[in-house]
Structure 1
């Protein structure tokens, strides 16, 4: 019955209805800057109440509307991309569960109840990553699930350390001896979910999931769950002196590592995944620089243009028989003009080009970091990451849109309405959302007066990165950068600074070596010789020796049998 009912055709319309209904309280709370808190006392365990707490504030409602709108467009896109799948209804239900888990994480500020959405995201993401049921998908799903389980464990530890406060509501935390441990546990949980260094290897691996899942995971769900958790906890966590410094260091390393890795990658979806990693580092860096509202602003705008980027990439992959290699594509500006135009708009927003949505959030973060007094090295690395974003975005566009066509002669490219309508909706939001949120939302950003050269520095870095990518992509192979031709640098870049083997093979190598040697030296050697096999061999040798040394008389056989039987009985007793 479930197969006969086309859930995939109705899911997008259902999410659009929910989005329209959600816009009413969102508009009201944003306009009046209100926060509504609802608490329902479910039960009490030794004077500790277990409450279901709902919070409706401008930040949560705006983010929920963004999640619903992106999910509606992604499900509309999946009707074409996953149209030949026999189990598309099951896929749609899993995506709806994913959206439900993210909304539970948004609206439940209670640590115990927050686990429902937190674990829901981890379980459903594992099922979606292994959706294609092949060894590569299983390996990617395992590293995704195990990395997220680290975050689940430390979140459970934070719940245990908060027990002495008599509640688990993150809005009412007070100072205690366990504060530093709680803050460290929540920070590690957020870093695992948002794939910060050293937990970054699962994010590119999760590209084994279908492209609609990637569009949802990398834009507004799962990876942004860690950022949103820190935004919710920020007032409590910023009381620790080391929190901002630790967050800034890991965020800058993540942004730099992802930017350098994306410059040498040839897999289309992995380049976009690494750009997600880079922008997540930018959001975390903004929080590390005490600009929590700008981090939230960039999270909203990034979700919109990143979903657009994945939908455009998915249409290219669908047209090229599900090939993801940049080197098999080219000249798509003439064959798929709508998707190519939307891809250029998404890349411009990603780079922070003036008057696109990414410009208003990313430029504000860079300007604020220049305006306030911060560590010079961290600031320089952030500026380098801005230039790297422009570099790999232009390289990506040159290979796919304006480069020569390298695909087969029988490739059929078309743009149906189910492909173009989500693109156009997300493209329009990628243009207008930045300015709209900046004018409407209460971001609490003060005026900043900086010199002209600092004001134009982000734009100069964007143009510099774009021009370098243009020169390196249009010249011959002999004139390419020496850094890309060095084997060590190339492997380090493709393996995200060797985090992939470190987080998988390196951790398993010593236990595997020890267990293999134990199997050879103990289980299959000494235990066999001292156990049943050795005793059997010894008894056979003794009996053969006795038989060969004695004459073949019946009395000797009876005597030998009785001796062996008595010996065996004594051993058993």
Structure 2
């Protein structure tokens, strides 16, 4: 049967239509304060019911609208970026399946049927990461799949433990004797999907995928699935004090680790991936502090400016003959003014510059953290992560826009194509206005904390400090010394080695030695090859004996006569 092909233009129309419908639904449910729950019963056995619930409220509808809006922008960008790819329609289908899986995850609050979207994201993301079909892509895809399988197993264990409740709906879960185990499994699943320590190495490795995939996967879909899972199940998860404590420690460490590693990285896409990892730590920290509404707010604003960052980076990489090393890029503000402007808008929003999208969410998170008087080390990590965010953002802009000329003279850069300008304009508008719009929609009316002016300006001061330090110490280095400290920070606190070489190399070497010593050694000698050689030897002897039958018969006659004579002599 011939497959129905779907062009990027058709996919864009479908996604924009769904985004508009979801946004209208979100406004309706928000203004009327309504929640719509549709539940389809699939299977009922004794007291356990397997259902497919669909939850429609302003949270799920608005998240779906943002995902489809960003996906539509990515599909417009794909039309130019992958115009030479002969399999672009297959790529379009895979991306649409990815968006469908994300929407299933958003609208289904049941732990059992949630697997439709959860496993769909894992499977389709593997297909997208290995899209270029080379060894690097395959390695990154396998790392992504194996890391996410840990979370899948945790979800399955949580489902099996929750059977005692008779249902799996996140809205109606209650405390049970096995509650701690269920919470631990859901937390583990969220950490693996959102790449928290120690499951963080797959996120930069997944940059082997095409840039449109990176813009979609690492802004509003795959990596935010873990955060959204914890937000959705937060009323149940908050029953355990271990949940908040453990998540707070892990997320704060992830923020700092990602920020330091981004300042040592030279790959453009990996720097943006590490910034995503840092912002995921901010969202997880917000959830651990009980600020799950602010975490959702930051998730929405982050999706806008991070997708814009990836698309600008993709255009820059495409113009540099697929080179991703920022040390070979410079003076792009003259050659690519529109992309440079959009890139810096996204960078300012990422840093939390006043009145940009990230300012409204990030600033409130820091203010609430200071107002609630949390642990000093956790607060210190938050401010350090804010400084590091401004630091690597300023470093990135200085490298590729205002440093001395380093790229080849034959590079031809341009951003005049309409299929590039349109999605960048759409997302730049979101990066500028989404913070204020979502603040009016989500946080109003609300009572803001009353804190001193010094505490109020601490977040802005930390951002300006990080940018100023980078500007003062900025130096274009074409070589990086491979000291132990540099390798420690460059390799994400050796998380890459721990999750890859250290865990897999020993088992691979053991398998190789076992194969050589047993399968190619004793087992082969005793088994297949040894048995074959023995049969061949016996066959050769038999053939020699049967080659001259007269001599054989004479020999047998003489032996028989000798045997009879000896027997008669002794009897």
- In the superposition, the TM-score normalised over structure 2's length comes to 0.91
Residue 222 of structure 1 deviates from its aligned partner by 0.4
- SS of the equivalent of 1:263 reads helix
Could you tell me whether the CA contact under 8 Å between 1:33 and 1:442 is conserved in 2? no
Deviation at 1:506, TM superposition (A): 1.0
Residue equivalent to 1:568 = none
Match in the other structure for 2:547 = none
Match of residue 458 from structure 1: 459
- Decide whether the 8 Å contact of 2:190 with 2:225 is kept in 1: yes
Could you tell me which residue of structure 1 aligns to residue 226 of structure 2?
226
Per the TM alignment, residue 289 of structure 1 is displaced from its structure 2 partner at its CA by: 1.1
CA distance in 1, matches of 2:531, 2:115: 56
In 1, Cα distance between equivalents of 2:521 and 2:434: 69
For the residue of structure 2 that corresponds to 1:190, the secondary structure is helix
Quick one: which of 469, 476, 501 aligns to 2:497?
A: 501
**Distance (Å, rounded) in 2 between the aligned partners of 1:514 and 1:89:** 43
Q: Which stretch of structure 1 is more off in the superposition, 151-160 or 410-419?
A: 410-419
- Give the RMSD, CA atoms, in angstroms: 2.6
CA distance in 2 between partners of 1:443 and 1:111 (Å): 31
Aligned-partner SS, 1:113: coil
Give, in whole Å, the separation in 1 of the partners of 2:532 and 2:412. 70
Alpha carbons 1:293, 1:443 under 8 Å: kept = no
Who is 2:329 aligned against? 329
What's the offset of the Cα at 1:557? 12
Q: Choose from 488, 512, 516 the match for 1:516.
A: 512
Write out per-residue CA displacement over residues 444-464 of structure 1, whole angstroms, 9 at most, x where no aligned residue. 854212222222111111111
- Where do residues 431-510 of structure 1 align in structure 2 (5 Å cutoff)? 431-442=432-443, 446-474=447-475, 485=481, 487-510=483-506
8 Å contact from structure 1 (residues 386, 461) kept in 2: yes
Secondary structure, in 3 states, of the residue corresponding to 1:146?
helix
In the aligned structure 1, how far is the partner of 2:211 from the partner of 2:554?
Answer: 77
Instruction: Please list, as runs of the form range in 1=range in 2, the aligned pairs for 1:349-368 lying within 5 A after superposition.
Output: 349-368=349-368
> Structure 2: any 5+ residue segments left out of the alignment?
541-549, 560-571
Q: Is this contact kept in 2: 1:63–1:300, CA < 8 A?
A: yes
Does the residue aligned with 1:162 lie in a helix, a strand or coil?
A: helix
In the alignment, which residue of structure 2 is the partner of 1:166? 166
Match of 1:27 in 2: 27
**Match of residue 299 from structure 2:** 299
Contact 1:3 1:89 in 2 (8 A): no
- C-alpha distance in structure 2 between counterparts of 1:338 and 1:62, whole Å: 29
Q: Which runs of 5+ in 1 are unaligned?
A: 545-552, 563-573
Query: 2:264 maps to which residue?
Result: 264
Aligned-partner Cα distance in 2 for 1:230–1:493: 29
**How far, CA to CA, are the matches of 2:501 and 2:553 in structure 1?**
62
- Cα distance per residue 1:175-197 (max 9 Å; x no partner): 11111111000000111110000
Q: Does 1:88 align with 2:88?
A: yes
Task: Name the CA distance, whole Å, in 2 between partners of 1:557 and 1:363.
Answer: 109
Structure showing greater Rg: 2
1:180-329 aligned at under 5 Å gives the runs: 180-329=180-329
Q: Distance in 1 between matches of 2:232 and 2:38?
A: 16
User: What's the TM-score once normalised by structure 1's chain length?
Assistant: 0.91
**90-99 or 25-34, larger mean C-alpha shift:** 25-34
Q: Tell me how far apart the structure 1 counterparts of residues 528 and 337 of structure 2 sit (CA, whole Å).
A: 75
Alignment check: 8 A CA contact 1:195 1:223 kept: yes
Equivalenced residue count is 549
